[in-house]
Amino acid sequence: MKKIGILTSGGDAPGMNCAIRAVVRTASGMGIDVVGIRRGFLGLYEKDIVSLNARSVSGIINRGGTILRTIRFPEFKQMDVQKVCFKNIQDAGIEGLVVIGGDGSSRGAHAFYSHFNVPVGFIPASIDNDVYGTEQTVGFDTAVNTALEAIDKIRDTATSHERIFVVEVMGREHGFLALEVAIAAGAEVVLIPERPLTIQQIIGILETDRMRGKISSLIVVAEGAGKAHLIAGEINKRMAGVEVRYCVLGYIQRGGIPTYQTRCLATILGSEVVKGLVEGEKCFMAGISGTKTVRVDLEKVVSSKIEISEEKIKLVEAMAI
Ligand code: ADP
Ligand code: F6P
């Protein structure tokens, strides 16, 4: 393999830069040229391609976001658009493509091999942790820690004012981020799309909290399970003698300095993806399973359903007594 192309796609995630750095330096160390494609699949369509070398990725290991920039480019699902991208890949002499992104981007990456036989290595990077075949996506650990830092501050007000707080976190249509945040923040209730609760059930838990002597309660809601302000409003309406407030954490969860865990994961997966391409892998994801780095067939990644842990949901309940 003489030349690798690399792009970041979908929502940015802390650690994407670490992954870019690892890919570029691993490839450069093997004598392989690397080009960066800017703004995801759109950059391939528009031929927005720049050369990268070991020095171009200096000083980015600690920076959130992505130096290659990223975009949502739904038009890429169209075959005529993909054909243009394939031609541009050929013109640029790219022999292998590294895609860094979330669940949607894994489908885009898969298309390059399934439609055009371009060898593809995928690095899962998303704050949602919603990619099948890897225990964690790059950026997830940082996002959880960012949310926890915010919630720890909210707790001060919650206890001082004896309030109920509803905190909304991201995660798209999944509750992986919310569940992990709920466990680590010590939430009384977690609301996730995979296990919906009625407003009556939520109020039942909050009333039990008060009977148990709790002076404040924390509800963590995944954006896919409901809107914090509506839930807070309903509780206010139906529960007498309590003050309810809400906070939407929003995009602060996407940015920031990557944690140690995120940096290491990104570096390991970035290095692995280049090794895989060089060893002749055609369409795979570099992921993590326990302490082991794994290569997973991208076909399996895009066709499998990812499940939430029932045990973790029960853990939130067990800790909230
Ligand atoms: P993420 O990768 O963070 O989940 P998106 O779901 O927005 O973000 O996906 C990122 C990009 O991947 C999309 O804008 C589109 O260009 C591409 N993509 C998503 N789904 C598909 C698909 N089914 N086929 C081809 N490309 C896709
Ligand atoms: O996929 C990451 C994510 O932050 C989701 O948690 C959220 O639903 C979505 O992206 C927001 O997307 P956008 O940046 O396009 O508003």
Question: Please, are residues 14 and 23 in contact by the beta-carbon 8 Å criterion?
Answer: no
- The pLDDT, as a whole number, for residue 57 is 98
- The pLDDT, as a whole number, for residue 219 is 98
Mutate to test the pocket of ligand 1, among 105, 120, 302 (most ligand atoms within 8 A of CB): 105
Residues 124-143: pLDDT tens digits? 999 999 999 999 999 999 99
Please give the Cα distance from 219 to 25 (Å, whole number): 43
Claim to verify: residue 8 and residue 126 sit in the same structural domain: yes
Closest residue by Cα to atom 20, ligand 1, is 104
β-bridge pairing 244-248 and 283-289: unpaired
The H or E element spanning position 12 is none
DSSP state of 306: P
Question: Please, are residues 37 and 6 in contact by the beta-carbon 8 Å criterion?
Answer: yes
Q: How many domains does the chain have?
A: 2
Claim to verify: residue 186 and residue 123 sit in the same structural domain: no
Q: Is residue 141 among the annotated active site residues?
A: no
Please give the Cα distance from 218 to 267 (Å, whole number): 35
Tell me, yes or no, whether 23 lies in a domain.
Answer: yes
Claim to verify: residue 135 and residue 33 sit in the same structural domain: yes
Residues 22-64: pLDDT tens digits? 999 999 999 999 999 999 999 999 999 999 999 999 999 999 9
3-state class (DSSP) for residue 8? strand
Closest residue by Cα to atom 1, ligand 2, is 11
Domain end, chosen from 237, 254, 271, is at 254
Can you give the residue range of the structural domain that contains 204?
141-254
Task: Output the average pLDDT for the chain.
Answer: 97
User: What token pair was written down for 219?
Assistant: 């509800």
Residues 288-298: pLDDT tens digits? 999 999 999 99
Average pLDDT for 12-17: 98
Confidence at 189, pLDDT banded by 50, 70, 90? very high
Check pocket membership of 214 for ligand 2, CB cut-off 6 A: no
Closest residue by Cα to atom 7, ligand 2, is 172
Claim to verify: residue 162 and residue 215 sit in the same structural domain: yes
